Amino acid sequence: AQKITQTQPGMFVQEKEAVTLDCTYDTSDPSYGLFWYKQPSSGEMIFLIYQGSYDQQNATEGRYSLNFQKARKSANLVISASQLGDSAMYFCAMREVNNAGNMLTFGGGTRLMVKP
């Protein structure tokens, strides 16, 4: 079974509007972390936001927020006030405490395209 599922291969959003990128995960580990990375066309992986499984509050970083619903095992990324520079691939990833090497397990990604 997939550990990280991103069901939206591609999405469009109008500039200045908000957009939600979906991520569901599967783990039996009570302690885990969830991450979102951005990969623009230039190829680098840029860390955006992190949510720990025991964190009470949803994480926020500037225009990025993480809608963490633990019971539903979802960790959706919300980007407010989209900008043209937000056009990129977005990857959700999970780290489980009990896996070797602090490995991140990645989803297949969502390509976001921001329309002017």
Partner 1 sequence: TAGITQAPTSQILAAGRSMTLRCTQDMRHNAMYWYRQDLGLGLRLIHYSNTAGTTGKGEVPDGYSVSRANTDDFPLTLASAVPSQTSVYFCASSPSPTTDTQYFGPGTRLTVL
Indicate the residue among 82 and 110 with the shorter CB distance to partner 1.
Answer: 110
By CB under 8 A, the count of residues binding partner 1 is: 24
- Asked whether position 43 contacts partner 1 by CB under 8 A, the answer is yes
Judged by CB under 8 A, the chain residues 45 through 64 that form the site for partner 1 are 45-47, 50, 52
When binding is defined by CB under 8 A, the residue of 27, 65, 77, 95 that contacts partner 1 is 95
Q: Is 22 exposed, middle or buried (0-12, 13-18, 19+ CB in 10 A)?
A: middle
| 27 closest CA partner among 83, 97, 77 | 97
Shortest spacing between CB 49 and partner 1, in angstroms? 10
Would you say 62 or 116 has its CB closer to partner 1?
62
**Residue 86: closest CA among 39, 50, 42, 22:** 39
